Amino acid sequence: MTLDLEAFTLAVSDDDLDELRRRLRQARVPDDFANDDGSYGLARAWVADMLDYWSGDFDWRAQEERINAVPQFRVTLDDVPIHFQWVRGEGKRTVPVILSHGWPWTFWDWNQVIGPLTDPAAHGISSEIAFDVVVPSLPGFGFSSPLRRPMGCRDVAELWNTLMHDVLGYDRYAAVGGDWGGKVTGELAQLYPEHVIGAYSTLQTIPGVTPSLDGADRFAPDERWMFEQMAAARPTVTSHLEVHRRDPQTLAYALNDSPAGLAAWIWERRRNWRDPDTLDDVAADRDFLCTTASIYWFTQTIGTSMRFYRDNFGERIPPPLPRSGPSPTPVGFGITPRDVLYMPRAEAQQHVNLVHWSHLPRGGHFSAYEIPHELASDIHTFVRPLV
């Protein structure tokens, strides 16, 4: 195991950037009709406009400069290359926290959360505590590549604890995640209660508990909206999960060869599962979508990122850890009104040490990107009583 940190600077070559633009300009965008409502998938007009922007006016170098403004490192853990950002907190009392992303996220989804966590006073949040923030890329995603073996959420949790405890020297730390990052965070809570101060997730998911999309009567009357929201999101979620968990490699041959196809696959999820009321800056959102697609394209990790589904479903899921009861690690959930999966509060209380259950006023599946200030404030609220 190599524990030597290497400073990392993102520097895409001019040749790679030129090739991306050439492929985009030569994209064969298919015909589309009777699809103004997007019922067949992303409408051609919107995709064509985005591809035109990505190949022309989009300034990758400006985004690269923004990314490089945040301290980044790489380290190899158990033969797995791991990329991460590491920003120290401003204040007398700092708490380490690791932020885990999902799919089709990247580490960059957390960018606007870092400031309110590391320097809360500058963002109008109580400065009783600040955070040392660590934002890794999941194995096989972005710059945590190449990946050469299957990787489940429990495997990632083991790597994250090694990173936080053995590499960075934090004996106690908080863990936060969304989407797959929420699953990883849950594994951290169960595996390492002696190290994890508290585990906070934006997705109501618990290791060893199979999510259910059925049974409205499982939800209390004031939670019935959760079931209705899951039902509304179910068609897009079901189609997404089936292809990713069954044959991701076949799809990867197409997406890894076509930036237009790769982007459309990613962008559809970003549009379907967000809260449209959080779209405050259309221009910035367009840049973010192009940056996300660019990271997957330049690193050629669309295939290994999708394999994460195959490696975390069915027979590949490790058995639950033997316990006489819930892990003692305090757990919190930050619930948004436009997410894709929910769990009744009473059900969650049966499986974890639930100490925080908050309803954020807006946001969808990508709350770290959609509502960074609100989310950061809720993370402060969760962690503050635990330290």
Q: How far is CA 185 from the centre of its chain?
A: 11
Q: Which of 83, 351, 365, 380 is catalytic?
A: 365
* Nearest in space to 192 (alpha carbons), one of 166, 227, 224: 166
Query: How many residues can be counted in the chain?
Result: 387
Q: Are 152 and 316 in contact (CB under 8 A)?
A: yes
Q: How far is CA 272 from the centre of its chain?
A: 16
Angstrom CA distances, 302 to 1, 65, 146, 219, stand at 26, 23, 11, 36
Q: Which of 109, 132, 155, 179 is catalytic?
A: 179
Phi-psi region of 109 (alpha: psi -120 to 50; beta: other; left: phi over 0): alpha
* Nearest in space to 66 (alpha carbons), one of 1, 10, 12: 10
179: annotated active-site residue: yes
123: annotated active-site residue: no
365: annotated active-site residue: yes
Tokens of 168: 């960075």
Contacts of 129 by beta carbon, 8 Å cutoff, 6+ apart: 91, 93, 94, 95, 120, 380, 383, 384, 387
Q: Which of 200, 296, 309, 342 is catalytic?
A: 309
Q: Which residue carries 């990247």 as its tokens? A: 106
Q: Which residue carries 């997410």 as its tokens? A: 339
Alpha helices in 247-363 (DSSP H): 248-255, 259-272, 282-299, 302-310, 345-351
Is 111 exposed, middle or buried (CB count within 10 Å of its CB: 0-12, 13-18, 19+)? buried
> 174 phi and psi, to 5 degrees?
-95, 160
What whole-number distance in Å separates Cα of residue 72 and Cα of residue 99?
14
* Active-site residue set: 179, 309, 365
